[in-house]
Amino acid sequence: MIWRIAYSLALYAALPLVVLKLWWRGRREPGYRRHLRERFGVYKSVSERPVIWLHAVSVGEARGAEPLVRALQTEFADHAVLVTCMTAAGRATVKQVYGESVLRAWLPYDFPAAVQRFLEHYRPRLGLLMETEIWPNLLAACRDYAVPLVLANARLSERSAHGYARWGGLSRPAFAGLAAVCAQGEADAVRLAALGASGVVVAGNLKFDLVPDAARAAEGIAWRRALGRPVLLLASTREGEERLLLEALRGPVGETLVLVVPRHPQRFDEVARLLRAETQALGRRSRGETPGARDRLYLGDTLGEMAFYFAAADVAVIGGSFAPLGGQNLIEGCAAGTPVVLGPSMYNFADATRLALESGAALQCADAREAVRAALALCADRPRRERMAQAGKRLCAAHRGATERHLEVCRRVLRAPARD
């Protein structure tokens, strides 16, 4: 308890900085300046039906949760599904993916009074936290209000596990407060149990259950065919990576078009400026522009179109993996049948990376220069690309089923008597 009191006092002390950061980020992303009262547990949206609540912190979690959200809507049709986020891009993604079929809100900051107001307003029958969202006051309040919490699609790297262990006085009661944990893999399950979580099962990765948007995929295939030359996708790149990859691409690339899709929308204009320094002409997807016959670079600056981008590419280099960031989602590329090339840092997708490498659906390289060489070689090697494409599709088909395993845990938790 003393650890949580100290934690709460630190949060209150940081409150002016929190508000200032929100306002500052709102300069580039206006969504951060909207619905500010929700950040502190004050809400307008209401539901006349009982609520099942799922928290998806940002874009990746919001998209990854789609199979589970759809299954919950079918299984518990008499309930409303509330999806909370923390980032503006995440909230925009929830609206784009789910429309008006779910309630949308900010998850409040982890102040005791704010999380209490949140729970009193929505009174959820069940809460699901995507991946690794452990908030001590929120978990304590859920226990007090008899709201069972499931950690869904849970992953925990060795690095993160060590971090939580150092703050065991705060983290162990939080993990112990979970009603159940659906871990992505065996290693995740072992680490989570060691931190105090109970009811841990290996349920697999929900992202294997995602089906690429057929219309956008067909559009991407048609776009590539019309282009008539190889397309190398730099997918979900993070800050600093574009420069590394572009430097590696300064040698001969033949007719290959390099399609750059940054991970975060607030960086679209920044990356556009960087690309313009490398080329005389730069087309942008958001403007409906088509690459010219001699264009080397093209910017994918739209949200919710990764199915298009992967289908449009012959080979994809996965961002977030060339800086120590843990990588971005390679499963989307495998599902689309696009060979993927990875950098060295993929700890956030450790199991999926291992499976993709073992199956022959992916290559992993030591740095950006090696990754670019491997990707360009693949662009010129159609038989190998086809083998990798089929391996990726087989991999995704073989590992589907996480949604049903998650759903079974939800059923069991809802049937269980409330814990004291």
Amino acid at 52: I
**175 and 9 Cβ atoms separated by less than 8 Å:** no
**CA atoms of 355 and 362, how far apart (whole Å):** 9
Burial 366-379 (b: 16+ CB within 10 A, else e): eebebbbebbbebb
Active-site annotation holder among 38, 61, 241, 242: 61
DSSP H or E segment with residue 59: helix 59-64
What are 61's two structure tokens?
A: 């979690």
Reply yes or no on whether 61 is catalytic. yes
Can you read off the two tokens belonging to residue 284? 């942008």
Length of the chain equals 420
CA separation (Å) from 158 to 191, 201, 350?
8, 18, 10
Residue 105: beta bridge partners?
A: 84
Task: Give the DSSP letter of residue 313.
Answer: -
Alpha-carbon distance of 167 to 152, in angstroms, equals 22
CB distance 254 to 230 below 8 Å? yes
Residues 6+ apart with CB under 8 A from 100: none
The set of residues, in sequence order, having a beta carbon less than 8 Å from that of 104 and lying 6+ positions away, is 45, 82, 83, 84, 85, 91, 94, 95
Which residues contact residue 159 at a Cβ distance below 8 angstroms, ignoring those fewer than 6 apart? Answer: 347
DSSP state, residue 405: H
Closest CA to 155 of 265, 59, 60: 60
Nearest alpha carbon to residue 394 among 370, 350, 362: 362
> Which active-site residues does the annotation give?
61
